[in-house]
Structures are given as structure tokens and as C-alpha cells.
Structure 1
């Protein structure tokens, strides 16, 4: 396997270096340049649509015709960036009920009702666009796709992709994310190094596949998530989220779905930004400074970005709901440098080189006072981390005859989190420990897609490919430590996907406007673990132009993480009462086994979705979507003991407990003395051990997840000079339960402490007119139940309101031309989490997986396009 790993690395480095050689001035013939539509930079304020159309025509030299009076009552939104004439008109006409049509060498503006066929839908009809959820360019996707673009994020006051994804109702704040408390069960969340990851449906950061421009990246920490904060916020164009199983297309980890982060392309110019703000309850002083620069030329272009950001910590003492455990840092102090680059260059008429690269370095500091008074000057423990990540992803794309494209792509990335834990008495360091979570990932893939044959409804298309992936984890705690890990995993895969348009609008079939079938299958082999084949089927049916019904069924899988397999098994000796035991003789003890399991099997899931989309032509700009999903997740890898204090009392754990173990206790303790911990305060006596509890990772019986997504999007203009109104809504309902072992009684997950709530929702209304944009957003996170007690304790949810105002100076504003000022207030009424019961001085006194401690946050920003 070493030869293959080296080949993947060499392919990545070789193709990335090619960009410097072949794109240097004079290295390729002028005749080899592909001449596409001219791209121009536009800086248009909110104004009449007629004025914006005239400026596009003047800047591009393309004739733009419009019928008299057709645009008289319309206003155009602000337009900033680099666009072809067609793309500029699409942006200006969005939600207006108008569209642009090619006519000879020019463009003509028409009302939507005169257009033949079905209305344009995202990702459909353009043979050059690859939408997340399919490996075929221009193919419609049978799974619902949620798109979050840069402008909408900024209008809502966001400056961090991690915050954006945690606000998404389909996502969950558990898994690997900053601010996760120590009292959160490992299965629900943790914080190693301050990384932000996506956790769709609460199935785990390791069950959500995160891509960058379609590429995999190196994992972060131990949970196989991808760190969102590694990217400068300004370079992000949009994020496409498919909350549906997609292993048939993308392989392991895509059980809950896929999130594809797409970077800006063909950016021209320079934009700088600065943001500053703080929480009114104290702490969380944030600064963010960034720059995005790009250049476009006839045969290629690039965009590069840099960002520096920092925030101070939030102490429990400053929050009334958390002060019961004073001296705890409930949100860590962090700072980071992030840089990213994306470029493309035509090497010949048919061959294009593309490269994406990123680098990030982040520092994080958390900790807690080690006394009930919460006094750091007496004693405290802190955790310092330094994270470094980097990746390079070059690819070659070769356009072949008959619409086919062949691509060769390579990725090499690293993610290193170095931890340092110190325990202090006063100012004196009394003990310390350090370690490193070092991940490496590389891959190489050869893929192609294009037309198979032509059906009456359109071309049948095929995508196929294969490749090799390599991941490694080195977990280093101390020289010679028995808990160190040095493990790696290879995988080989091949896939195929087909898209068949059976009926199209031009055929005039009664009761069927469009009908499309799709299918995919992927085979993946993990030497020494398993081989898995995962299929997926999809159908898109439109009974008439305004309505689309979609359905999908598929199987997905997730290979066990290297940490889950090879984490060292340890033995902890407790007083039996600490594990919930009662009625035993004084001095009785119990053992808890923890750690990895090299015999773990891949997790397997079966998912189906159904959705209904409605775009009424009577009300242009309105898009409604209702979706249902169901997932049966088998062989789920879990750490079975959620709450240690219930080990001997919870009937769910009965099959994991060995009573009266006798000599087995002595064997377990002597197996590796370096990993034996005695917490009883007395000498170890095997005769006093009354129980052994197996808390090592195992394949659980099954999880059942189902729910409903409701989304609404409405964009319209409020008459003459009334501005543009945009209303967005997203409501998600989730129900999930877990059967720990075959035959065991199922237990609820969703709606319980440290798991996703049943209901989440987010709605916004945005109005723009002239230079002003105003946005109001309301978010709801439902309540949960604390199942640690009988009877259960209800924990109330949170409702927050955010307000954002932006003012963009126009082209006649002198030195302020191109400047945008913003003011945002998040959580306007200072809503806060409910307090939960705690048992230790380091516990976070609220559900830190669901509710934010930030409170009311006031931020200001300035952006300048140069």
C-alpha cells in the first residue's frame, strides 16, 4: 500500500506544480485559449431595473433589448462582482417575473409567462453545472438540496461558517464543536482544539461528509469531522447541503448527508473587511479582518483570501444560568489565521487545470477552576491547543467529443491538533500532560461523465469513476505511552451513476410535465475491515410545470474511525457506589472497561426521502418545499455507557455487566498496568470487585431516525421604488431512537438532553431599497428532557431574534465608493439557556450541545471593494 500512497501524493504535488509552469506568461500558444463569454466587474447599487440593464449593456457591449414598459415598475438589487452578461442579468432579474433570452448576438428581456417548457430550477438544464447530490453535470437531483449563499449569510449578520451551519435547523451543535462541556457524553459531543464541524440530523460529525469544491479533506481530531473554520469566510460562495444518504455517490461518512463548500470563482478585484463586536453579558469580544483578491483572464483566473479572527472566552461567572458552577470557561478563547486559494487555467482548447489549497492555524484556551468556589487563583486546570491544517487539491479536466469530460483529481491534506493540559495550584504548575491528534488524508480519483444516448425527452447521461483513499491517525500522548495510536486505513472504490429523462415538457404528455429516473451504485473495499456495495435510486415527477415530486431510496455506510478501532483499552476501578451499585458490602468496587475495539464493523443505513416542491407561476418568486425522510441505521458504533453513574442500575446496560467476576477482575487489571487507574483511594483487591462493566466501543443494535423538513422562499418587489422583499423559512422536525443491543428496549434520542430537540426553525425577512438592506431573523430551538432523573426534567428551549442593517455607498460617493457598513444585534432580547443539574465543579450548567452561551451580541463591520 506504500507505493499507492506515494503515487497519490506524487500526483497531487505534480499537478499542482504544473500550474506554475504551464500558466507562466508565454508558455502556451494564444490560439489554444478557450474564449468564453466576456466577464466584467459590476458595482451596481440598488436602483431602477432599467438603469441596471443599461449599465450591463454598456459595460459588456452586448445588446440588451426590452419591451417598452416591461421594466418600468421594477427595482434591481445591488450587484457586486464579476459576471458574464447572462449571469449578471440572472442576478438582476431574480424574483422579478422576468428572464433573459439569447437572441442572435444579443439578449432580450421577457416576462416568464412567455417562456416555453418548465421553469428553471437550480442545477437543472445547464450541462456545465455539477450540483451536490449527483456526479453528472446538469443532472437533476432527486434529493432535496439546501443552498446557503454568501449574500444571505452576510445579510443575517454571520461572519463565521461554523455559526451558519450550527444555525441550520437540519444540523446539531453536538459532535466536534467549540463550547461543548466536559459533562456532555462522548457519544453526543466533545471539543478537541476548537474546530467547528457539521452534524446533520445529530447523527455525528463522522456521519456527515463535508467537501471543499467536491474534494475530501483530512479529518479533524478523533471524530472524522472536517473543520469549517479552516476557511476564510470571504472566499466562500455558497454551501450546498443534501441531508440524505449519499454513500452511493461519495462513499463512507455520507450517512446523514453531504455538505459541499463551494469557493468563489472568477473573482476580479480586491475586497477587504473588518468586523468587531462583543456580548453584552460579558466576554466574547470578537475581531475579524480579511481580504479577498482575484483576477480573471481569457484562459483562467484565481481567487485568494486571508483571514485573521479572535475571540475572548466566556466565563460561567458572567452568566446567571451557569454561575452555579463558577470558574468554568464555557466558551474557549480562540484566534486563527486562515488562507485559501482557488485557481483554474486552460492549458489547451480541451484541457483545464484547477487547484484548490488552504492553510489554517488556530490557538484555543479552555479550562476550569478546580475548587467549588471557582477561584482560579487558588487552583485551576487549563487546556491549550494549537491546530494546523493544510490541503492541496489539484485536478485536470479534459473535455472530450460528444459532451464527455474526463477528470483526474488528487488531494493531500493534514490536520494536526496539539494539546497541552496543565493543573495549577496557585501559580505553580503541579502536573501536566501533552498530546497530538495528527491526521493525514490523501486520495486520487479518475472519473468521467457524459451522454450515453438520446431519448425523446433528452440525453441519457452516465458518470463513472474509481479511486484510492488513504487516512492515517497518530495519537501521541507521551513517549512509550501504551495509549499512543499509529494506525492507517486504505480503501479502493468504483462507482457509476445514470440519469434517464423519460418525459419532457415538449412531448406534451397529459398529466406528466417531466419524469426523470436516476440510479447509482458504489463498491468500496477496506482491506482488513470489510467490502461494501451501496445503491441509490431516485425519481423526479412533475405533474405540471409548477409542481415537482421527488423521491429517493438508498443505502449508506460509515467505516469505523481509526480512533474507534485502535484507542487503547483501559480499566478504571471505582467504588461500586460510583457506578450506581447499592446493597454491596462496604469497600466493594467495580471496574469499567473503556477504549477502542479493533473488531468493529462498518455502520450501515437505509434511507428514503420524499419531497414536494411548488413554484406557482401565478406568484413568481415563491418556492415551497415539504420533505419527509426516514433512516434505519444498523450496527451503529457507540460508546454504550452514556452516564457512568447508571452503569449498574440502567436496565439498558444489563448485558454489558458481568457480576461476581472473580479472577477475571485480576486479569483485567494486570493486563496492562499502564492503563489501569484506581479511583477508590484504597489498594486494589480483586476479591472486592463485584462487577465489571464493558464500556468499550461496540456496534449497537440500531437507530431509527425520521422527520420532516419544511422550507419556504419568497422574493418580490414592492411596486415602484418600494424595494425588494425576501422571506425565508426553514422548519425541521426530528424523531430518533436507539436500541443499544439486539433485544434491548429502545430509548429516545431526539428530544433528550445532549441530543437534538424535536423541533428547530429559522425564519427571516429582508428588505432592500437603494443603498439600505434590513434583515430580521427569528430562530427557535426546541426544549429537551433530562433523562438522568426519574421523573424526567423538562428543559425549556430558546427563541432568539437577530437584526442586521447594511448600508452600501454607491459609485458617486467619493472616497466611500464601494464601502458597505453593517450593524447587527444577535439575540436582541438576550434569551438564555435553561439551567440543568450538575455534579462536578467542572460541569457546564446548561445543554451546551443545543444552546449558545453568547447571549446578546452587538457587532459592527465595514467592507470595501477596491
Structure 2
């Protein structure tokens, strides 16, 4: 396989890259780190859904019954914080290794391609808006109206563990828990000081990062009160597209010129035929006319296999984004967390919390191209037109030509995003005899502002390119013979603004470019607020022969609002596109909206058998929640589960639940965002062209989507080998009336193949698509099901001081990921990004002051499309499997109490990702950057201290 990352590592890290790996490999084989996922003895049952001790009360994520030793029937994976910090000090990066989870914003794909710097969680690949995120069992409000939670703002240094409920939990926690729940649990009773500082660099001398964090816990008033605080700052540099060889290679799928072969073939050095850096004519008698940067006209070299808007070799760009497009964004962020609690009596504890965070991110896609519907029109009388070209136009009866331009001389289309979030919480924990409860109130405020560093003025760019020589008698005192915009002569200037003419046939003059790209003039801002009130209580009801029947009841209320604003120029009617928005891309439209919800729930745990001849125990768990949405009415969710122990060592469990996700404010009220896209048009022989205007809006008629979840599994913890734990769970999630918006290319393909979604497409009088408009609707159904496996073993080593060995394997096998919309069925299981088998292996070993850990990840091979057959639809439909390893070695300095120096290496063997040949409409990066590591081997060094 060709290497995605060839070339020589940067000299300043070359030696570390060669010798460091050998040293680490030896250390890992002899030693391993001092932490492990679900490592504590009392947490081994948590993998099977049992309780975990927090130091205050026994809490079971997945159930609202918090006392009495009750075990939840939902499968729960417990990951302690240290085991998640192998490749990075950040817990969220370790979560990305778990087979059940996908995490955006990790080291491989953070903030790439226009992202806002968020890190979001996605369980079962059902979408991050179908995962409920909790902090110490309380709902975390999203940062934006799209309903997604940025987990990068969690107080990393205080996180004790992360509980992952892999199954529906809406009856217990409310909307959004269709795929499951991720609960970040803090060490709320931490005393002392804990600090950590680190720095990192890739094997190639780029993507540098550094960060520092400190947490402090102080008891007061004789232990009745406790104060907790933490501060964190992190900074990481990004990557440009061409700082890795993959994007430069031009790996793409193209139409096969051989009619006897497969429809598509994989090819290297594929270039775009739809435009060039400084202008290309793609239609008419002058097809192939292009210009160099100095304005010299010549014939474009279309290489070979010039079909469908792409060709192999020759002239042109392998990417429409250029060398400076951002592959991984620049980001810095900071968080501050404070918590104060005080026992005013033995039965009442008051508490107040504040989580404050901010992020700043720079991302983007590179060049702001003008091709297809947004190409420049050059008439015969254009002042900058070469006389020989004018003569050719006249001879062929051509009045105008369309110059398709990637605008290589224009500023990059980059975006700066700033966000801020404040989440205060006030509440009380209380006891009423054997009953325990909590009441809390949280008003969350979030603000995000996005600005294009240099937004391209599309209206003025079209007028500026239509440059003519002022005739004698020109109006308004215009000097005859000077070059002016035609609109200046005709008095049709947009909003009366002066127009600076521009020559788009070759590199343009800097002053003309600057006139079209005002800095930070294009922007949008949204303010999201949520007021949340929650009250719950649980305790014993009565006794049965098998034990105590326990119950939990509670109410919740939430009110959400969003106000989205944008710059005035985004809201004008563009006479060129006949759509709102004067900018080339973006032009988000303002909107506002509110949503409120009232909920009440009840949960019951009933022991049916205890020490019976037919089993050691049998427990029944059931929950029901009634939810009333102001916009869509009342819905009911429920759950029923059984836990059966035929013997104490073996637990057999099963659950059946009905879960919901309500539409987000963005899905309900989005005012629309304009953009452009490159599409493949099967109606026109599968040609590829760009500049198609795209827009999407919200739909206030949306209703909640429903999920039906089934889980059955078993855990085994044998007495004959203490420390061994095994678990297996079959899970099945059926999603009905799912809210979805179809991709632009899918809309076109569905219209061509099945005559559906055609209403979203508009064409101009030449037959080309000039606009695609869609909005989310309740129309999709989805089925995902598979099996989770887990085996772990942990044992002390008596022959060395402080010796410890543990190992763990977690795997997910995916059978189906099938979606259906309007009668069209798509099977995604096994396609790239949706592997059928994911495995995480982790081994730790501690010997005295030395601790180390080795983690391995496996993704099974994939295909491009399950509907394709190798040799028929594509020459080879297969993508190879991928295995990567991370390592961490730490040394505790005995003379300095609780001080550790550590080195970690992500992608230990610098494994190149599988080559993925990209389809039209996507940026060809040489691999799938949302799945595979594109950074390469990455080194971090740091120091931790506690006292």
C-alpha cells in the first residue's frame, strides 16, 4: 500500500522518532501504567451494570434509584480517568478509542474543515444529538441550538471516571438518550492539590500543543463544607491540507472510460476539469482556454480520462481548496470549575457549582472558488480580454465566455469561531428517613460567534469582473479610456457602492482582490439559553421475601431559547443567484425560537427471588416518563428490565425500552444557510460541476423521533479466578420517524434513481442545477444492531513493590446499520466509517516507580458502498483494515511525593491510514479523516504532581 505519510520526519524529532519508539517498546513489554478501564474492585460489576461507590452514595448511571445496592439492567462501561489518558492528557481523546463511541474534535479530526472547535460524543454512530451527556448525573445543556454538547469543556483534572450506558435511557433521564448516556463523574470529595503540565509535537515537527491544569479541594468547617476548583488551559496548532502527502496525491474515484469495464475506477493524480487556479473555459468553442498567473493564455492540458469533470494528470488542481486549506484547525480553550457544598444538618447538604469555558478556533476549506453557477462572465468588450481571444469569440459568434476559477490568488476561505459557556447549578441533597433526594436549578448561557476572516463578496465580484473601457461621454465625470465596472457606467452598482474592476484572467491586482474581501465583515452569532429545574427522590417502599422494593419519582422542567443573528449583507437578495445572501458562502439567515418541556417520571425496582432453588436472585426494573412538549405535545417513554443470577458468578440481563429525541431548536427554527457545492449530475451524463447554491431551513412541524431498544446479555465473574470479568451483550436499536436532512448529492441521486426528493432541486434554463434547498423532516427509519464483548483481568504482583498487572479487551461487532427513507434502503454497516468490527485492547503493568500502558485499536476492513460490486460498479470496492497502538510510560520520583514524569506516544509505529479514494463532491484527502489518524506518531511529555 502506498504510504499516506511519506517523507522524512523533521530533524528536531527524528532521533526521538527512532530511538524513542524502541525504548518505549521495551518499557511497555516490561511495565505498564497504573490505571485501567473499570479497574477498581468495586467497579468490576459496573461493567455489568452494577453500582459504583462514589464516596457519598451508591450511584448507578442508567437508573434514578441511587441507594440500596440496586443494579441497573442496562449495560454500563466504566472508564476511569487515568486509563483514558494514554495517548493524551485529555479524557475525551481516550473516549474516542472505545468501540461504542465516536468522538469529534480528537487529535485526528479536531476542528477540521470548518468545525467550531467542539468535541461531541456519538454512540452507535446514531449521531451526537442522540446521546445524553451528564455531569455527575445532571443534564448538560448544549452550547448551541443544534443540541450537541461540547465535552471538551468538562473539568478534565477533576474527572474520576466516565460511565457509558449503551442502551436507551429516556425513561430515566428524558429526551436525547436514544443511543445512550455518557456521565462524567467528578471526584467531589477530592482534598489537596493536583496539577499537570504537558507539551506535544508530531513526528513531522508540526501540530504542536501544550496545556496545563490544576485542581484544588479544600474541606472546611470541620468537614461539613467542601470547596472544589479547577482551572485548565490548552492550545494546539493545526495542519494545512498539504502538510501531509495524502491530499497532494489526488486519490479519487473517476468514471471509467472503458465501457467494458467497471463503472468507476480508483485513480491517483486525479485533477479537476471544472476550473483552474486563474481561470478556465469549460464550455463552447473556447473550451480549454486557461490562463497562467501572469495572464498568459494557453490551452489547458486535460491529461487522460477526461470524464465527469475530472481527469488524470495534465493541468489543474488535485484539490479545490489549495495548499493552504485547513485540514485540522487551530484551537485554544480554557475552563474553570468551582463547587461549594455545605452540610447544614445531617440530612441536608446545600451545593452550588459553576462551569465556565471558552474556545477559539480557526478552520476553513481553503480557496473560495467561483465555478459553475458562480463562474465569472466575460463579454467581448471586457477591458482585460486578450485581443486574439476577442477575435476568436467574434469569429465563432460567441458573445461571452464563462471563466471558472478556483481563485488561487484570493484569500483563503477561513473561519474564526469563538464560543463561551457558563453553567451555574444550585441545589440541595436531602434525606427523609431512608429516602434520599435532590433538587437543583441550572440557568445555562452559551454564546458562539463565527466570522469569515475574509468573506468573498459575490455580488460585487461579478460586477467587478465585468470590466469595460469608459467611452467618450461617460457619465458622472468618468474619464474616457479608463477601465471601470460596467455597472458604474449603467448606474446599476449594487447599493451604490464604488466598484473596483478586477482582471480574473490571470492573477488579479491585490487592491482589486482586497476590495472583494472585507475582513471580518461576514459573521453570525447565536445565543442559547436553558433554564432547567429538576427534583427527584428515591427510597424503599416495602419488603418482599426476596428483598426491598425501591422506587424513584421526580419531575423536570426545561425552557430553551435561541437568538441567531447575522451581518446585514447576509440577508440581502442576491440578484445573481436570486437567493438571500451577498456572500459567496455562508450568508446565514437570522432566526429565533423557544421550546419548553415538562416531565414526570417514576421508576420501580422489585426483587423477585433471593437464594432460591432456581437461582441466586431475580430482579425486575421498570420506569415510565411522561413528557409534554410545547411544540409537539405529549409523549410517553418507558423501560422494563430483568436481572437474573442463576449463580452468584453469572448475571443474565435484558432490557426493552421506548426512547425519544425531541427536535432541536435549530431543526425547528433554522433560518437557512447559503453555500455552494460541487455535484455529480446523473441527468447530464454524470458530469461534475460546482457553484451550485445550497440552502436549508428549519421545520417547526417536526415531532419527536422514537427509538425502540432491545438488550440481552450476560456477565461472568468467576470465583476460581479473582480479577477476571467477562461480558457479552446483544443490542438492537430501531429508530422511527427520525429527523433527517438528506445530503445534496443524495437528493440528486434519489431523484434520478427513484424519482423522490426532486422538489428540492432547481435548474436554470440550460438544464444545469443552480440550487438545492431542503429542510429536515420526520421521514427516516434506522436499524442498528450488534454485539458488545468485554474481557478484563486485573491482579496484584506480589514479587515486586506496588506491582500491578491488568489487561482488557473491548469489542463491538456491528451486524446492520440500515436506514430507510421514502422507500429507499441503505445499508451502511461495513462501509468506511462504519466498520463491522472494532476492538480496543489495553494492557497495564506497574513495577515500583515505573508504570506504563500499551493500547491497541483495530478497525476491520471496509467497503466504499455496500451497493457496489467489485469489477462491476468499481474496480475494487475494498478498504483495508487498520491497527494502531499508543503507549505511555511514567516514572514516580520517590523523593518527591506523588510526582510523576511521563512520556506518551500516540500512533506508536506511525501507522499510515488506509487510502480512501474520494468520490465527487468531497475534498480528496487520501483517507477518511473522521475515522483514521492523519497526524501520525505524536509525542507528549509532561509532569503530574499531587499533594
1:382 partnered with 2:414: yes
1:775 partnered with 2:853: yes
Aligned residues of 1:316 and 1:328 also touching (Cα < 8 A): yes
Distance 2:447 2:934 in 1: 28
Change (3 A) 1:714 1:692: same
Change (3 A) 1:558 1:178: farther
Choose from 430, 444, 448 the match for 1:413: 444
Gaps of 5+ in 2: 1-30, 250-318, 370-404, 456-507, 572-579, 581-588
Offset of 1:263 from its aligned partner? Answer: 1.1
1:307 partnered with 2:237: no
Aligned residues of 1:657 and 1:691 also touching (Cα < 8 A): no
Distance 2:408 2:849 in 1: 49
Partner of 2:151: 228
Aligned residues of 1:333 and 1:364 also touching (Cα < 8 A): yes
Partner of 2:306: none
1:560 partnered with 2:483: no
Secondary structure, aligned partner of 1:643: helix
Name which one, 1 or 2, has greater alpha-carbon Rg: 2
Question: Could you give the per-residue CA deviations for residues 583-603 of structure 1, whole angstroms, max 9, x where no partner exists?
Answer: 799x99999763222211211
Choose from 612, 617, 620 the match for 1:509: 612
Partner of 2:13: none
Secondary structure, aligned partner of 1:780: strand
Question: Could you give the per-residue CA deviations for residues 62-112 of structure 1, whole angstroms, max 9, x where no partner exists?
Answer: xxxxxxxxxxxxx9x989xxxxxxxxxx99978999xxxxxxxxxxxxxxx
Distance 1:336 1:635 in 2: 37
1:793 partnered with 2:873: no
Offset of 1:140 from its aligned partner? Answer: 0.8
Question: Could you give the per-residue CA deviations for residues 144-188 of structure 1, whole angstroms, max 9, x where no partner exists?
Answer: 11111122223x2431132122221101245999837888xxxxx
Pairs within 5 Å for 1:621-660:
621-641=723-743, 643=745, 646-647=748-749, 650-651=752-753, 654-658=755-759
Partner of 1:823: 903
Distance 2:363 2:415 in 1: 5
Change (3 A) 1:783 1:442: farther
Distance 1:250 1:300 in 2: 29
Aligned residues of 1:522 and 1:533 also touching (Cα < 8 A): yes
Distance 2:202 2:529 in 1: 37
Q: How many residues align?
A: 718
Question: Could you give the per-residue CA deviations for residues 291-342 of structure 1, whole angstroms, max 9, x where no partner exists?
Answer: 1111124213122111111001022222122234433211111111111123
Pairs within 5 Å for 1:461-500:
461-479=550-568, 481=571, 483-500=589-606
Partner of 2:92: 162
Change (3 A) 1:272 1:786: same
Gaps of 5+ in 1: 1-74, 80-89, 98-118, 184-190, 666-679
Q: Normalising by structure 2, what TM-score?
A: 0.70
1:366 partnered with 2:375: no
Partner of 1:323: 248
Question: Could you give the per-residue CA deviations for residues 772-817 of structure 1, whole angstroms, max 9, x where no partner exists?
Answer: 111111011233322397337333342111111111123xx1xx33
Aligned residues of 2:49 and 2:76 also touching (Cα < 8 A): no
1:391 partnered with 2:433: no
Distance 2:676 2:160 in 1: 52
Distance 1:581 1:592 in 2: 18
Pairs within 5 Å for 1:32-71:
none
Partner of 1:25: none
Distance 1:333 1:794 in 2: 33
Offset of 1:736 from its aligned partner? Answer: 3.7
Partner of 1:209: 132
Aligned residues of 1:558 and 1:603 also touching (Cα < 8 A): yes
Question: Could you give the per-residue CA deviations for residues 438-496 of structure 1, whole angstroms, max 9, x where no partner exists?
Answer: 22112112211111001122211110011210112222222483721111100000000
RMSD: 3.6
Distance 1:690 1:309 in 2: 44
Pairs within 5 Å for 1:434-583:
434-479=523-568, 481=571, 483-504=589-610, 508-568=611-671, 579-582=681-684
Distance 1:476 1:268 in 2: 45
Partner of 1:151: 82
Secondary structure, aligned partner of 1:167: coil
Offset of 1:641 from its aligned partner? Answer: 3.3
Distance 2:55 2:787 in 1: 30
1:133 partnered with 2:62: yes
Q: Normalising by structure 1, what TM-score?
A: 0.76
Change (3 A) 1:182 1:820: closer
Secondary structure, aligned partner of 2:246: coil
Partner of 1:276: 199
Partner of 1:696: 775
Change (3 A) 1:736 1:560: farther
Tell which deviates more after alignment, 480-489 or 204-213.
480-489
Pairs within 5 Å for 1:658-807:
658=759, 695-721=774-800, 723-742=803-822, 744-753=823-832, 755-787=833-865, 790-791=873-874, 793-807=877-891
Partner of 1:610: 712
Secondary structure, aligned partner of 2:821: coil
Tell which deviates more after alignment, 329-338 or 432-441.
432-441
Aligned residues of 1:795 and 1:836 also touching (Cα < 8 A): no
Choose from 313, 329, 336 the match for 1:339: 336
Question: Could you give the per-residue CA deviations for residues 493-550 of structure 1, whole angstroms, max 9, x where no partner exists?
Answer: 000000111222xxx3123111110100000010121311011001100100110011
Secondary structure, aligned partner of 1:629: strand
Aligned residues of 2:34 and 2:851 also touching (Cα < 8 A): no
1:862 partnered with 2:943: yes
Distance 1:447 1:763 in 2: 39
Partner of 1:292: 215
Change (3 A) 1:579 1:223: farther
Aligned residues of 1:161 and 1:228 also touching (Cα < 8 A): no
Tell which deviates more after alignment, 415-424 or 132-141.
415-424
Distance 1:461 1:396 in 2: 22
Aligned residues of 2:450 and 2:524 also touching (Cα < 8 A): yes
Secondary structure, aligned partner of 2:102: coil
Aligned residues of 2:34 and 2:804 also touching (Cα < 8 A): no
Distance 2:887 2:112 in 1: 32
Distance 2:767 2:179 in 1: 45
Distance 1:195 1:120 in 2: 30
